[in-house]
Amino acid sequence: MKIALVHNQTPETLSVAAKFKEMCLSEDIKIVTDYPDLVVSIGGDGTLLSAFHKYEDQLSQVRFVGIHTGHLGFYTDWRTYELAELVESLKKDKGESVSYPLLDVRVKYADEEQETRYIALNEASLKKMDGTMVCDVYVKDELFETFRGDGLCVSTPTGSTGFSKSLGGAVIHPRTEAIQLTEMASVNNRVYRTLSSPMIIAKDEWIVIYPHKEDRLILSVDHLTFKKRRIERLVYRIARERVHFARYRHTHFWDRVEDAFIGVKKNDRNERTKEW
């Protein structure tokens, strides 16, 4: 097996990465940079996003697994004290994986004839640098609303626990084939109205956004930001590619959600441990 390591530069992560690399090499697991079978992310969810975009042109051939050293590990299944167990799983690897939908973003810049394509693991957002953003929102080929506000966010099911959730979006199970549109501080009064609610878009539908003013817009795709480009049109739909995570053990999605945002079960377990 050939694996690639992607990690952040914190002291803890650097120590874990060095130890993990040594353990892999001692088991004849090859560490490579180009065309790996598996990408191991060491850090937090931000590090895994970086790993995803580094290898986004190889999504049909590569799987991802994360070792958690950050503050929130929604994508990172493994803890730093489980390195030996992970190496054993790598040695016994049979290609097991679970796959989730991605977001296809097509942008028509004013100074280019062809669309530019991006892929997002979590979400893509559009905001105005200053003032109110005004744009027409279409679902498929039908005008749905004229939006006025700070911005719009379109997320994947796996991204629904991130920025979209902070905007009041629903948490969507990652096996759901859908994308979600959420609003940022929409303007609603007697003159201007928007839905002012998250929208779940089916897999055979798409969203088109036409900004009324093409300049001073900020486009973000996951952790990547694109500024100072005049945007005529954006089209969002479920991508033909999917992201594949190595599946060595199963963690129920709603257990992840509960652990990340509520933590009652963890507290209950700790209290029971004290009682014992």
Annotated binding-site residues read 45-46, 122-123, 148, 150, 185
Pairing of strands 97-109, 116-120: antiparallel
Pairing of strands 142-149, 133-139: antiparallel
Binding annotation for NAD(+):
45-46, 122-123, 148, 150, 185
Choose, from 45, 77, 104, 222, the residue flagged as catalytic. Answer: 45
Is residue 45 part of the annotated active site? The answer reads yes
Is there a contact between 74 and 260 (Cβ–Cβ < 8 Å)? yes
Is there a contact between 242 and 101 (Cβ–Cβ < 8 Å)? yes
Pairing of strands 63-68, 78-79: parallel
Positive or negative CA dihedral for 107, 109, 113, 119?
Answer: negative
Query: Which residues, 6+ apart, have CB-to-CB distance to 221 below 8 Å?
Result: 105, 118, 119, 120, 124
d(C-alpha 159, C-alpha 164), whole Å: 7
- Other beta carbons less than 10 A from residue 256's beta carbon: 16
Map residue 246 onto helix, strand or coil: strand
Q: Closest Cα partner for 102 from 51, 52, 36, 67? A: 52
List, by residue number, the catalytic residues: 45
